Structure 1
């Protein structure tokens, strides 16, 4: 069973170890010093960020991280997306990782995405849709989005998380059920 809670200060060493894993580092390209992890995730842990960092569990064991935010709270991410696709008011964005390399490739990413989508509809009644830009080169990620019921609605150039990647991103979206 997939569950989660907000990331806490005591979780940051675990997150640091996940960010150091080659399969995560390839796509997140995050500085992995403890100072950098505190700098970038500390504001969310302290409730100073509008977005959420959620520690995901599978049967009580840590599995990964989901970041969830309202796009309107991050205009630096919203504006480039709006140049490529229609982004309705109330759009939410997610990002995700599975920390343990032994758990990658078993459908858990799809399950995690499906669970966060369901929870988003329940917890954020004004959320109109979930929009996810993903590097076109990250095939496993966009396939997990598709398997979780999201559809590709566009493609275009966005700044990649990792500078070794091309600018091309696929944009995925799922609308609130019943809309």
Structure 2
């Protein structure tokens, strides 16, 4: 009898800081059609330096974190405090105020074969739990997501977020309509 095939999404989900050696892998992920559709990034060397270089040098208030699944890099999480990005906070404020204690997260899963298998909610949970630990003054996590990106907003729901608003925001991909949904998760009470 042959052993059962290993579940490709089994194993611990951990996060670690993005380092310069991760950039070639990040480029491949961002260029993958299922990622590029929603993370509409230029992936030239100059663009990667523009978008991720400040974080690599410790000059960015937000965090770029590599998602590892059982020790293998499989994605990226961006985690930040809204107050560190006042221009973006001002854009979302008419739809749903974020407040000084709000965090936000965004993520991607690079290998297509790992998508649609329940990994997204686990990544979101790891990002949120790490955010609570890193920012003891954080009160909630507020995440806008394109209304067309059903997989992402369903992953947020599975991770415990609730939809609190919908409205128009400038889309990441100019091909998308501006409608987005805003999801929120409040910090759990201390036992």
Residue of 54, 59, 84 corresponding to 1:73: 84
Between structure 1 and structure 2, the one with the greater Rg is 2
Which runs of no fewer than 5 residues in structure 2 stay unpaired? 1-11
Deviation at 1:86, TM superposition (A): 2.6
- How far apart are the structure 2 equivalents of 1:71 and 1:91? 6
Deviation per CA, 1:84-129: give whole Å up to 9, x if none: 1132221011111001111111110111001111121122101111
Q: 1:23 aligns with which of 34, 57, 60?
A: 34
Alignment of 1:58-137 (within 5 A): 58-137=69-148
Structure 1 residues without counterparts, runs of 5 or longer: none
TM-score by length of 2: 0.91
Report if the CA contact (8 A) 1:13-1:34 is conserved: no
The answer to which of 111-120 and 13-22 deviates more is: 111-120
Confirm or deny: 8 A CA contact 1:145 1:172 kept in the other structure.
yes
Residues in 1 aligned to 2:20 and 2:126: alpha-carbon distance in whole angstroms: 24
Q: Secondary structure at the match of 1:28?
A: coil
Q: Contact 2:15–2:127 at 8 Å: present in 1 too? A: no
Q: Is the 8 A contact 2:15 2:126 kept in 1?
A: no
Please tell me whether residue 50 in structure 1 is matched to residue 47 in structure 2.
no
Q: How many aligned positions are there?
A: 179
Native 8 Å contact 2:15 2:68 kept in 1: yes
2:187 to 161, 172, 176: 176
Runs of 4+ in 1 over 6 A off after TM superposition: none
Q: Distance in 1 between matches of 2:48 and 2:157?
A: 30
Q: Structure 1: how far apart are the matches of 2:61 and 2:132?
A: 18
**In 2, Cα distance between the equivalents of 1:70 and 1:103?**
28
Q: What residue in structure 1 maps to residue 47 of structure 2?
A: 36
> Quick check: 1:139 aligned with 2:158?
no
Aligned alpha-carbon RMSD (Å) = 1.0
After TM superposition, give the deviation of residue 33 of structure 1 in Å: 1.2
